[in-house]
């Protein structure tokens, strides 16, 4: 039962140069609520011509210096003001995200929007702390470095945490003085557009932040190949990332890529099993498994397997699947029909490969919406498709292991390297395994922890570059050495 009023959302235009404009195509597409399978509103279908206009607006503002040369403290203050406005309108943002992405309202508000605001404030504080250095020179020279913005940043984002993952790019890029054109995911454009609205309200100069909605293959690709864009910051699937790298090559753009994962979540027999069961459940079923760092491969030490599986299955079967607007819901619908079918395809593949479903595998009895029950496979091995490919849905593959060496070998046996976790009470073992895992993040006795201060990014085919932390500023700045002859 829906317990909250759902606001009406009107037709959305593109946000270019501080104005709301119709797309050059004159066309629109629908954004669908995955909980009802109904259209929320129509969205402007931007294409290469709109990207041209947005890049021109961003370029004009950057070159004009209105933002890049604004006193850094003032820039920081404006970003802070933006965060205040977002906080005051957090309910609106949360509702839009829930309608668009199908996540429980409390998660939209207390996780995604709260973290988005934290990230914005964190980088607002950095605006006047981005500095160069004075260098010890080799003689009669005075040498120093300037850390400068790159120019126009093109940001392309996915649909699983639409606002938060956009903010990981927006906040450091703008704090450093860049301007931006954002192409949000086709399935979830609403919060990016709302953010454009509050940029106007906060008095962010026109052209600093632009939003062009539209398909990845046209609008996204135009941004990637545009000669007026200095950098592409992308989050999405590994295959798309490969295409983006190729597309950006002709203009030698700087790129950073946050891609997919198949993260190992490793439970040793000497761990606190109850905590590990909770961590494993959150690790895969939070946001219906639509999490790049989902603990989708669960390795359990053989000695603890029976006890662990029994407790895990009990817990998973208690997860309430349903309407994201209902307070009791822990898992909303999968993002789209296409994604639901993809995930179901993986469930079939797991069965065909001989793995056994011990929870879920089917759909709940709900009339409308792309719902799927949380699914757990037992009897899998690390070679199976369900252990090697990113499913990006509520499907957990459990795999037994013998000892430390065995689990390090299996855990690292993947093309990905985004995140990982270790559950043990043995401190020495925790550190040893943390060092041996080839992943950008290792959690010990916890899962899915994030903070604006802690860098996040991938090893191997999970991408490169680190978002969050002070490291993200490196993605949006470049260093110039200045030599002054003192002789
Ligand atoms: P996707 O790659 O299909 O789409 C991501 C974005 O790229 C969308 O805005 C899309 O429109 C755009 N796009 C698609 N084709 C394009 C093209 N040819 N040129 C330019 N842009 C194009 O990914 P998705 O399905 O939206 O998101 C899920 C994927 O994102 C998963 O693989 C997940 O692991 C990954 N992800 C990674 C992280 C991370 O931080 N590493 C975080 C979240 C999601």
Digit-coded pLDDT (tens) for 278-334:
999 999 999 999 999 999 999 999 999 999 999 999 999 999 999 999 999 999 999
What tokens does 221 get?
A: 């690709």
Which residue has the least CA distance to atom 20 on ligand 1? Answer: 220
Residue 1 has pLDDT above 90, yes or no: no
3-state SS of 335-397 is CCHHHHHHHHHHHHHHHHCCCEEEECCCCCCCCCCCCCCCEEEECCCCCCHHHHCCCCCCEEE
Digit-coded pLDDT (tens) for 383-430:
999 999 999 999 999 999 999 999 999 999 999 999 999 999 999 999
Q: What is the pLDDT of residue 372?
A: 98
Q: What is the pLDDT of residue 4?
A: 67
Q: Which of 216, 225, 261 for a ligand 1 pocket mutation test, highest count of atoms within 8 Å of Cβ?
A: 216
- Cβ–ligand 1 contact at 290 (below 6 Å): no
What tokens does 207 get?
A: 């052209």
Write phi, then psi, for 372 (nearest 5 degrees): -145, 140
Q: What is the 432 CA–ligand 1 centroid distance (Å)? A: 33
Question: What's the pTM?
Answer: 0.97
Q: What is the pLDDT of residue 263?
A: 98
8 Å CB contact between 19 and 44: no
Q: What is the 298 CA–ligand 1 centroid distance (Å)? A: 24
Write phi, then psi, for 290 (nearest 5 degrees): -90, 65
Digit-coded pLDDT (tens) for 347-364:
999 999 999 999 999 999
Q: What is the mean pLDDT of residues 172-199?
A: 98
Q: Which of 39-48, 51-60, 136-145, 372-381 has the lowest mean pLDDT?
A: 136-145
Q: What is the pLDDT of residue 7?
A: 75
List the catalytic residues: 258, 292
Digit-coded pLDDT (tens) for 228-262:
999 999 999 999 999 999 999 999 999 999 999 99
Tell me if residue 137 falls in helix, strand or coil: coil
Q: What is the 237 CA–ligand 1 centroid distance (Å)? A: 4
- Cβ–ligand 1 contact at 419 (below 6 Å): no
Question: Which atom of ligand 1 lies nearest, measured to the CA of 261?
Answer: 34
Q: What is the 403 CA–ligand 1 centroid distance (Å)? A: 36
Q: What is the pLDDT of residue 3?
A: 55
- Cβ–ligand 1 contact at 220 (below 6 Å): yes
Q: What is the mean pLDDT of residues 37-49?
A: 97
Q: How confident is the model at residue 225 (pLDDT cuts 50, 70, 90)?
A: very high
Q: How confident is the model at residue 10 (pLDDT cuts 50, 70, 90)?
A: confident
Q: What is the pLDDT of residue 8?
A: 73
Q: How far apart are CA 224 and CA 226, in angstroms?
A: 6
């Amino acid at each position: 039962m829906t317990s909250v009023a759902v606001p009406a959302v009107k037709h959305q235009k593109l946000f270019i140069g501080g104005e709301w404009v119709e797309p050059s195509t004159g066309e629109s597409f629908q954004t669908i609520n995955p909980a009802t399978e109904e259209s929320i509103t129509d969205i402007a279908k931007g294409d290469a011509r709109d990207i041209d206009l947005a890049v021109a607006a961003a370029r004009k503002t950057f070159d004009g210096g209105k933002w890049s040369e604004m006193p850094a403290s003032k820039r920081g203050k404006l970003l802070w003001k933006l965060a205040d406005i977002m906080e005051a309108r957090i309910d609106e943002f949360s509702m839009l995200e829930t309608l668009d992405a199908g996540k429980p309202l409390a998660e939209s508000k207390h996780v995604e929007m709260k973290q988005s605001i934290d990230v914005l404030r964190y980088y607002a504080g950095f605006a006047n702390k981005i500095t160069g250095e004075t260098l010890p020179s080799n003689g009669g020279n005075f040498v120093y470095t300037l850390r400068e913005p790159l120019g126009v940043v093109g940001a392309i984002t996915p649909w699983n945490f639409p606002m938060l993952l956009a903010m990981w790019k927006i906040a450091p890029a703008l704090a450093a003085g860049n301007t931006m054109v954002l192409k949000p995911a086709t399935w979830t454009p609403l919060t990016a557009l709302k953010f454009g609205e509050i940029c106007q309200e906060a008095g962010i100069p026109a052209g600093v932040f632009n939003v062009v909605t539209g398909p990845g293959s046209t609008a996204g690709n135009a941004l990637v190949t545009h000669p007026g864009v200095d950098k592409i910051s992308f989050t999405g699937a590994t295959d798309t990332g490969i295409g983006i790298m190729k597309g950006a090559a002709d203009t030698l753009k700087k790129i950073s890529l946050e891609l997919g994962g198949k993260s190992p979540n490793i439970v040793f027999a000497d761990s606190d099993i109850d905590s590990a069961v909770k961590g494993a459940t959150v690790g895969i079923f939070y946001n219906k498994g639509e999490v790049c760092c989902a603990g989708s491969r669960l390795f359990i030490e053989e000695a603890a397997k029976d006890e662990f599986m029994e407790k895990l299955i009990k817990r998973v079967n208690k997860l309430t699947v349903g309407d994201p607007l209902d307070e009791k819901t822990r898992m909303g619908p999968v993002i789209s029909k296409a994604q639901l079918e993809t995930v179901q395809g993986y469930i079939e593949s797991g069965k065909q490969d001989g793995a056994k479903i011990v929870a879920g595998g089917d759909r709940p009895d709900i009339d409308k919406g792309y719902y799927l029950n949380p699914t757990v496979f037992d009897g899998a091995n690390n070679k199976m498709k369900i252990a090697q490919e990113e499913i990006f849905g509520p499907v957990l593959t459990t795999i037994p292991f013998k000892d430390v060496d065995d689990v390090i070998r299996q855990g690292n046996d993947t093309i990905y390297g985004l995140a990982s976790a270790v559950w043990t009470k043995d401190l020495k073992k925790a550190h040893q395994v943390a060092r041996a895992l080839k992943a950008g993040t290792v959690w010990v006795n916890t899962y899915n922890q994030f903070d604006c201060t802690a860098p996040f990014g991938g090893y191997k085919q999970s991408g490169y570059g680190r978002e969050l932390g002070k490291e993200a500023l490196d993605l949006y700045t470049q260093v110039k050495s200045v030599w002054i002859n003192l002789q």
